[in-house]
Structure 1
């Protein structure tokens, strides 16, 4: 069961263990990696002296980058066959060849980044047998509401989970009875799994009631659930309108505006919301929606709903009787309670439930909660989780430290997350918590490093790259204007001796104060002048600093703004090179996060097997690695 190798690492490594050792040694010791992934923030690119580019990038590298186009540099980092430089050559793409130290750095990042190649699984047809490989197999009505990317993800993950459940049943002689989707959202994945040809029983956990309601509406639009039959007594309605002094004409106008009137559908008899959705007349799949805020891996309030509804009914009745004598409070209502959850179809209950915890692109700590559910709940037999949004992870070990503390940004979110000491945060495994690094015990990744880990530079085309680089250039240059106008203070140099003896030293809080700008209209990126004007339109309305922006910047002329762009234009390429190096290098940061989850599972006595593999095409969905754990 599972792939031949537990981790999809380079074939240069004989074992997964050898790969892990090399990966963690490199991350723990490479000063350049610390600078590129976690130390550099684009906001500070034009505000420091010496500038970040000179501070971080070797002079020999800078000379090479100066002589080549940025798209050629991206090719060198990610696509060029580096073996061509083993032969004696004096030029590359009509310019100098890369320095040997740069080539060695590129080779190291490539070999330590996890392999992302995906091998499609043969589809299963309506009769349950295997058929030819196709682009996707989702029925048209099941795919309603999905874009191309979502169809690719759902279709391939359904095939993967179907095969996984079969393999678990074959190796343990016990069937998986239910798939529990952590953070189901609009339930695209669950809807597909419950339909033909998979017919799985789905428990869709979701913390937001409006998402559950939205998912139910998609079920109806997909013709997988019947629309509620309604009838209206027109004579009674007219009588009610007359008693309220409202004419029929006025009532109809209100109805057209979306208010309640004659055309509003009124159920004949109010029915509680159905917790279970039986999928089609032919299939045996089902969906049970459960509103549940997932704050850890404990499912003790969810599993009883699958086993014995009488237990749940007694629990809910007791809680509501207690709450009736007091003012309503969300803390008094069980996390999993949704009106109608008691009406679960008997056909999907199990005396001995065996659960597979699944999730498609779980944000932040949600993957950690899913992994821990394998240990905390006897009914959970396995997990298969695809993560994303690493920037939303909290930090377990506290403030990150660096060999070059001068590169530490003072972004408020960096401080907030680094001081959280959250037991549910990163890292999970004892191995990473105890890993020796150049800056002490334990591997730490700040929010800037984790934010870079969600980049996908391999998918950047020329237009994408130009758009990225323009946005970063404009934002970094605007920060320089903020500093020059006195809105934010310039970073102050510190004595070298107070900076761990680093000759590159500036103060540990060595960045300018961040200004949260948010998104701007597309038209704001037509020129730097339009960008500054668009940003000011938002910032002058800031309740705390709006007056300061009006005082310091509203008098700027278009010529003054254009002069900034002209002065720093040549350094725009330097920022593009830096951002490309940061995004490329962050492949090993994502590898560390994924490997940490794998190692945590391997460290548990209850776990029989664990592995990581790709389940989507990287070009469609860069966060394409699933972490699987099987309980003994």
Structure 2
């Protein structure tokens, strides 16, 4: 994979050495523009951030058509721009990893991207459907090539990927997520899908209905074991029956055997450190045959000290990046989520609305500084108020147009039959002709919107209005400089893809530094306009992505894999924060010797909900899962049942608030 700069040079990540060279060039460029990287638009007026940029650049860009500004992050320059500005834009773009979607057949053979039907696609928007169709096809093809029998969907959310793999491709899937809400949604959705597939099974013995099971790590003394019949009768699979052989007293469980099924790890937009821990799991467990992961939320990555190259933070991962000592920080990592493709696809009206909202937020910061300095020092967040403001404004425009029976263009021709809810407003936002009275027209109207924005923001922060608060004076002071916000924000946005490229190359180099890996690459799996976070980490332990070796001697059951993979469950960003400690195989009190997957602690839970838990995969009854809870001075081990994972199955493993089990 390479990016070609305008100068005719090229960057490549085909080898570790070439990847390091690319990262060094990126680091040098980013260090040279650190003030622009670290600047926060909310402080635009307060800190006079336009002065950070070359005055000649700003004077040029403020006169540019909005269309030219929107193309700037994509590397498009104009001949009349200052030479230094052109050099900045072209050099920045030359350092960005190519993101245009490629056909999956270019890296893995024997692949067919199936279109997901309406039943499986329920609840998905067009973006999610596009992602699931492409990712599921790739996971299936790689699993088939490398002989992986089970897919572990890490950070599975509402189970879209897991259910597509199981129902569409007939793969057993273990779906892991830390949200009990996601589990309940997944269960309800799976039941609806199963009814459809069960109806199709009538008279068709060859069509099997995938089974879905949810395993809860219980927050009580009750220990949960979930059973599922692995047997078939002459008419197909029984759903939800108990295998009597699995309810007997468990024999001693041994280490994983060579006959255990190999696995593939998969993750769609695994948030923050989730993607990072998947990579470490792949490296630490040689028996994992492959990994396909698309990351996101770089702002949520942990960032550690550069002194110790053995640290396990989310960034940096590679030894070379740690030694370079390039510190990013949350604000810069947040900038990595900017998409040049999305910028280029914006309409002029929407772009101007975005610039106005940034101006309102920066002016609101001036209000806080003047009238609520103690609140301002806390760096408060007022939520996605800009988005709400745009929706509110658009709603008024649409209602006005509907009242006058104005004709809509074809892009929103169905809007008249719909209610004006949030999703409807979003769906037509690019198609409505908002007219001359739009948000960006008329300074009086802008001040009114700024006033509404300010009062709403103060309300969200719990601040009452001050009687002598002169908002008009503040707006008059900042308004002459508001025209610089668009150019400034576009210049910062041009740096975002460089930050993302550096983070992605750091992950790739981390794998390239491992001597036992023969194949690791980054691949643009999705259309970047539809799904901006479209770069997939593809890792395998073979030399050919098209025909992966199926090494029987390296196969392993979920027991060993889980010790490395489950730490990604530790924190999904929800109110309940789970901590974990990885464990090795140990003997526990009770009749069985088990292979611990991971231990969990819930320090914030009240009463008997607090304590230590461990989730285990066992080798009894094929591949199986069980749960233990610490009680007294040891681990309580109940009689164990098993989940057979040889047939198409979705197993949802989730942290739960339950206190009893029926």
- TM-score, normalisation: structure 2: 0.61
From the two aligned structures, give the one with the greater strand fraction: 2
Instruction: Pick the aligned partner of 1:451 from 314, 324, 334.
Output: 334
Q: Once the two structures are superposed, what CA deviation does each residue of 1:350-370 show, in whole Å capped at 9, x if it has no partner?
A: 941211000000110000111
Task: Report how far residue 130 of structure 1 moved.
Answer: 7.2
- The whole-number CA distance in structure 2 between the counterparts of 1:179 and 1:378 is 16
- Determine if the alignment matches structure 1 residue 607 to structure 2 residue 517: yes
The aligned runs of 1:522-541 (5 Å cut-off) are: 522=389, 527-533=446-452, 535-537=454-456, 539-540=458-459
Q: Once the two structures are superposed, what CA deviation does each residue of 1:306-329 show, in whole Å capped at 9, x if it has no partner?
A: xxxxxxxxxxxxxxxxxxxxxx95
Q: Once the two structures are superposed, what CA deviation does each residue of 1:31-70 show, in whole Å capped at 9, x if it has no partner?
A: 4431222x1011211112xx2211x111221222233233
Larger Rg: 1
- The whole-number CA distance in structure 2 between the counterparts of 1:45 and 1:156 is 41
> Residue in 1 aligned with 2:60?
64
> Residue in 1 aligned with 2:261?
353
> Residue in 2 aligned with 1:377?
285
> Residue in 2 aligned with 1:111?
94
Secondary structure at the residue paired with 1:607? coil
Contact in 2 for aligned 1:353/1:379 (Cα 8 Å): no
- Change in Cα spacing, 1:138 to 1:111, as seen in structure 2 (3 Å) is same
- Determine if the alignment matches structure 1 residue 393 to structure 2 residue 301: yes
Contact in 2 for aligned 1:194/1:285 (Cα 8 Å): no
> Residue in 2 aligned with 1:572?
482
- The whole-number CA distance in structure 1 between the counterparts of 2:208 and 2:9 is 46
Task: Report how far residue 536 of structure 1 moved.
Answer: 3.4
The aligned runs of 1:141-540 (5 Å cut-off) are: 141-166=119-144, 168-169=145-146, 175-196=147-168, 198-223=169-194, 282-283=206-207, 286=210, 289=213, 291=215, 339=224, 341-343=226-228, 345=230, 351-397=259-305, 423-435=312-324, 442-460=325-343, 461=346, 462-488=348-374, 513-520=378-385, 521-522=388-389, 527-533=446-452, 535-537=454-456, 539-540=458-459
Contact in 1 for aligned 2:520/2:537 (Cα 8 Å): yes
- Change in Cα spacing, 1:285 to 1:220, as seen in structure 2 (3 Å) is closer
RMSD of Structure 2 on Structure 1 (CA): 3.5
- Point out where structure 1 has 5 or more consecutive residues left out of the alignment: 86-96, 170-174, 228-279, 294-327, 400-420, 436-441, 491-511
Q: Once the two structures are superposed, what CA deviation does each residue of 1:292-313 show, in whole Å capped at 9, x if it has no partner?
A: 89xxxxxxxxxxxxxxxxxxxx
Q: Once the two structures are superposed, what CA deviation does each residue of 1:464-495 show, in whole Å capped at 9, x if it has no partner?
A: 322321221101001012212252599xxxxx
- The whole-number CA distance in structure 1 between the counterparts of 2:19 and 2:335 is 22
- The whole-number CA distance in structure 1 between the counterparts of 2:105 and 2:522 is 20
Q: Once the two structures are superposed, what CA deviation does each residue of 1:62-100 show, in whole Å capped at 9, x if it has no partner?
A: 2222332333233244253x5x84xxxxxxxxxxx1111
- The whole-number CA distance in structure 2 between the counterparts of 1:479 and 1:130 is 52
- The whole-number CA distance in structure 1 between the counterparts of 2:292 and 2:155 is 13
- The whole-number CA distance in structure 2 between the counterparts of 1:473 and 1:537 is 15
> Residue in 1 aligned with 2:10?
13
- The whole-number CA distance in structure 2 between the counterparts of 1:565 and 1:161 is 53
Contact in 1 for aligned 2:151/2:173 (Cα 8 Å): yes
- The whole-number CA distance in structure 2 between the counterparts of 1:569 and 1:32 is 30
- Change in Cα spacing, 1:485 to 1:539, as seen in structure 2 (3 Å) is closer
- Change in Cα spacing, 1:541 to 1:514, as seen in structure 2 (3 Å) is closer
Contact in 2 for aligned 1:64/1:98 (Cα 8 Å): yes
> Residue in 1 aligned with 2:554?
none
- Point out where structure 2 has 5 or more consecutive residues left out of the alignment: 199-203, 238-255, 394-438, 440-445, 543-662
Higher relative CO (CA 8 A, sep ≥ 6), structure 1 or 2? 2
Contact in 1 for aligned 2:75/2:89 (Cα 8 Å): no
Q: Once the two structures are superposed, what CA deviation does each residue of 1:227-248 show, in whole Å capped at 9, x if it has no partner?
A: 9xxxxxxxxxxxxxxxxxxxxx
Secondary structure at the residue paired with 1:119? coil
- Determine if the alignment matches structure 1 residue 73 to structure 2 residue 69: yes
Contact in 2 for aligned 1:374/1:631 (Cα 8 Å): no
57-66 or 608-617, which deviates more: 57-66
- The whole-number CA distance in structure 1 between the counterparts of 2:536 and 2:72 is 29
- The whole-number CA distance in structure 1 between the counterparts of 2:460 and 2:525 is 46
Q: How many residues align?
A: 450
> Residue in 1 aligned with 2:400?
none
- The whole-number CA distance in structure 1 between the counterparts of 2:447 and 2:215 is 46
Secondary structure at the residue paired with 2:373? coil
Instruction: Pick the aligned partner of 1:100 from 71, 83, 95.
Output: 83
- Change in Cα spacing, 1:29 to 1:378, as seen in structure 2 (3 Å) is closer
- Change in Cα spacing, 1:518 to 1:143, as seen in structure 2 (3 Å) is same
- The whole-number CA distance in structure 1 between the counterparts of 2:83 and 2:261 is 58
- The whole-number CA distance in structure 2 between the counterparts of 1:423 and 1:122 is 34
